[in-house]
Amino acid sequence: MQIVLFILQIVWGVCGLASIGVLGWGVWQYRQNSEDLAAVEQAKRIILYASIGLGVSVVVSIILFVIQSNSHKPALSPLTGAPSSSNEEVVGLGERMGASSQVSAHYPQRNAKDVPRNASIVITFRDAIRLDSVAPSGVLNVSAVDIRVKNDDDTLSKEPLTGKAVLSSDKKTLKITPQPALGSSEHSILYRVQVTATVLKESGDSAFGSTGFYEWQFETGTTLDTIPPSVVGIFPGTTVNAVSYPRNAMIQVQFSESIDASVLEGGKLTVVDQAKGTPIDGVWTLGNAYTTLLFTPTETCGANTCGQKMYCLPERARVKVSIKAASLPTSMSADSSSPYRATEPFDGLVDLAGNSFDGGGERGTKKDGKATGPATDSYFWTFGIGSALDISLPRIASTTPRRDTPRVDRQTPLTITFSKQMDLGSLTPRSVLLGQDVNYWLSNTRDTTKDTTTTTIFHDPLKENTLYSPSVQSSARDAFQNCFNPCSGPLR
């Protein structure tokens, strides 16, 4: 329906332009032949017919516009034929989560349920922001980030939530620790978070313009998070004694839950060339909804097919990666409900509830569901690097739904499976596109048995009777920094 309307609008737009051209020609004829009565009469007829054509084009274009606007109103469900239930959020002047959003990630996720009461709220911005606009003196500026309880009747609590707030060293990630803790021990509570135009970029400009904002909601459960985070996947070195990996392999560590970005600072993560006993220079980042650490070395070793620099680990090296667990109080905490809560300031890895790391030593072999501190629960592994580069390009192996599938459920997540291990930090709403008229966010998982990666696209309910064309851009890369060719995917 939308495609037909779009084509008709183009056709009538062209007719309108043609009418304007003919009208102009008629006027020129009239003025050039003012003394030739026959030519004047012909010019008048041209002007009349062109005016009629222009008027009809304008009227039809208006009608098509009204039809297209009304086509987005609730109608019968394409799956059931019954009236659709619509829980789309009203965005108004707010930004949508997607390719162009100023907010690139946040925790809890949009519409999340059963969020632990002791969780922090984390917001990552696309651009660096000013500390004094969001967290002067370490306290949340509630004018910049307005967090309120959302009642059953959709009204909001009178007072916003307050708490401590810290900004990461790159000035892009804001962590909010609510005080008191979120929610209730007796029933779930719905929260609405609005990030406002009070947030300033380093330039002094508002992150959202003079009246813009970004908004989402989540619901807490009744319990606290007392489970330590653990490693659920590593690359390279997935298997012990594996053959040497290509030099352009990216180091990636996946965790069982979102972790605190403070792990990126203060030497909590190390990458060492074991033969030389020296650290390997590089940069750690946190991506994939704060669940994946990624390390990119600083040594360059060529370029990929998109002309981007490739970075390599040392040739024929044995590499050791270590992740420090945060220290626990020396005596039992008075709050026995959080037995694995780490000592602040955190000197190692913690989750977003402050639980220390259940690393379990080498490759997590002693992981036991408990956090005991850096001496026993720091995590490490080693792997070999060869001299070759992996320059094979990733492609899309499959999608759900398949290409051109009709009558897709409006709320079912979409999936894209890539043929290789991917750089999980590169799979974001900037590289995987769904559309500008819907909020969407991603989760990426690796299948080490098949050596593939699957991206799941979660979204608000899609508009009815609308064609969507998800796409993957060349900024998506595999785990060896090769960029994706947007034309490489299944035909069906």
Q: Between the CA atoms of 272, 297, 361 and 118, what dihedral angle is there, to the nearest 10 degrees? A: 140
Place 380 in a pLDDT band, splitting at 50, 70 and 90: very high
Q: Give the pLDDT of residue 93.
A: 46
Place 241 in a pLDDT band, splitting at 50, 70 and 90: low
Question: Do you know the residue count of the chain?
Answer: 492
| More confident site: 145 or 243 | 145
3-state secondary structure the chain: CHHHHHHHHHHHHHHHHHHHHHHHHHHHHHHHCCCCHHHHHHHHHHHHHHHHHHHHHHHHHHHHHHHHHHCCCCCECCCCCCECCCCCCCCCCEECCCCCCCEEEEECCCCCCCECCCCCEEEEECCCECHHHHCHHHECCCCCEEEEEECCCCCECCCCCCEEEEECCCCCEEEEEECCCCCCCCCCEEEEEEEECCCEECCCCECCCCCCEEEEEEEECCCCCCCCCCEEEEECCCCCCCCCECCCCCEEEEECCCECHHHHCCCCEEEEECCCCEECCEEEEEECCCCEEEEEECCEEEECCCCCEEECCCCCCEEEEEECECCCCCCCCCCCCCCCECCCCCCCEEECCCEECCCCEECCCCCCCCCCCHHHHCEEEEEEECCCCCCCCCCEEEEECCCCCCCCCCCCCEEEEECCCECHHHCCCCCEECCCCCCEEEEEEEECCCCEEEEEEEECCCCCCCCCCCEECCCCEECCCCECCCCCCCCC
| More confident site: 212 or 128 | 128
pLDDT, mean of residues 143-170: 95
Between 24-28, 142-146, 229-233, 384-388, the lowest mean confidence (pLDDT) is in 24-28
By the 8 A CB rule, do 187 and 141 touch? no
Q: Give the pLDDT of residue 67.
A: 62
Tell whether the model's pLDDT for residue 400 goes beyond 90.
yes
For residue range 269-281, what is the model confidence (pLDDT) as tens digits?
999 999 999 999 9
- Among 45-54, 201-210, 427-436, 473-482, the range of highest mean pLDDT: 473-482
Place 361 in a pLDDT band, splitting at 50, 70 and 90: very high
Q: Give the pLDDT of residue 77.
A: 28
Q: Give the pLDDT of residue 68.
A: 52
CATH 1.10.3720.10 assigned to domain 102-220? The reply is no
Q: Which long-range contacts (CB under 8 A, 24 or more apart) does 345-348 make?
A: 345/262, 346/260, 346/262, 346/263, 347/266, 347/268, 347/374, 348/263, 348/268, 348/323, 348/324, 348/374, 348/378
Tell whether the model's pLDDT for residue 87 goes beyond 50.
no
For residue range 362-376, what is the model confidence (pLDDT) as tens digits?
999 999 999 999 999
Tell me the CATH architecture of domain 231-384.
Answer: Sandwich (2.60)
Query: What percent of the chain lies above the pLDDT cut of 70?
Result: 85
Q: Give the pLDDT of residue 179.
A: 92
For residue range 113-136, what is the model confidence (pLDDT) as tens digits?
999 999 999 999 999 999 999 999
Burial class of residue 298 in the structure, from the number of CB atoms within 10 Å of its CB (0-12 exposed, 13-18 middle, 19+ buried) = exposed
Place 12 in a pLDDT band, splitting at 50, 70 and 90: low
Place 112 in a pLDDT band, splitting at 50, 70 and 90: very high
Q: Give the pLDDT of residue 126.
A: 93
What gap in Å lies between CA 430 and CA 101, rounded to an integer?
Answer: 9
For residue range 28-46, what is the model confidence (pLDDT) as tens digits?
776 777 666 677 677 677 7
Q: Give the pLDDT of residue 72.
A: 38
By the 8 A CB rule, do 176 and 165 touch? yes
By the 8 A CB rule, do 259 and 350 touch? yes
Please, what is the angle between helix 37-70 and helix 2-32, to 10°? 160
